[in-house]
Structures are given as structure tokens and as C-alpha cells.
Amino acid sequence: MVLTEQIDHWYREGAHECTIEAILGLPASERTDGLLGELAVAYNNTGEYPKAMVVLEEMRPRLGFTWRWQYRMGYALYYSAEKSSDPGRAGRLLSKAQEAFLNALRLGPPKLIRQECLEFLQWIREEQSQQTK
């Protein structure tokens, strides 16, 4: 089985740690942007949002203009904000997440991702309104 097919299988099974191990086990020269994107997804799905952001930042010059990159970064930022115990930091992360989801929408994602972006934006607005009370 090709690694990308195996990663898809692990994703469906919720075995995100297997994806992380497999990709990190490759030499750096074999880690394509596609695989790095899957690594970021796996980090997001295991709650390792700072690690996902590091991987995504590495890819920003090449893929930061795509809806997929913007969505993945917004996801990592949003959940990092959720986990933050520092209200100021959480607010900054939410603002960056909002920007990323808006960028993703501008770049024309598929319908399902568009809907998810809109949901995240609604949650962000709700959280920001609670912070100002």
C-alpha cells in the first residue's frame, strides 16, 4: 500500500499517531508538502496544535495562499486558543484563526469546508463577544 493510501486509512480509523510516526520516520528529503500537510492534520487531530502550526508555518511560503493551508492553520489556531489559559493570548489566537478562516473562504473551498469555516467563524464571534462582556 502506498503511504498516502495508508495515511487515508489511518485517518478514517482515527489512528493519527501512526501518521505522525510514519511521516517523521521519513528522511526530510522525502517529506513532500502533501505529506507535511497530512502531518499537520494528524497533529491537529491529536491535539498537538502548536506542532501543527510549526509544520504549517514551514509550508507558508509555498502553500499559504491555498484554502487548505488557511483552513488547517485556522483550525490549529482556534483550538490553541481554546486550550490557552491566558485570555490575552487566546484572544490573539482567535483573531488569527478568524483571519485564516476568512482567507480560506475567499479562496473557494469545497462546500463542506466552506460550511465548517462558517461554523468556526460563528464560534469565534460568540467567544469574542463573551470576552468583551
Residue type, 120: F
pTM: 0.93
pLDDT in tens, 85-128: 999 999 999 999 999 999 999 999 999 999 999 999 999 999 99
Nearest to 43 by CA among 62, 27, 69, 20: 20
Any alpha helices (H) in the chain, and if so which ranges? Answer: 3-13, 16-24, 33-45, 49-63, 67-83, 87-106, 111-131
Looking at the predicted structure, is the pLDDT value of residue 39 above 90?
yes
* Torsion sign across C-alpha atoms 76, 77, 81, 86: positive
Rounded Cα distance, 25 and 82, in Å:
30
How confident is the prediction for the chain on average, in pLDDT? 96
Provide the pLDDT for residue 131.
73
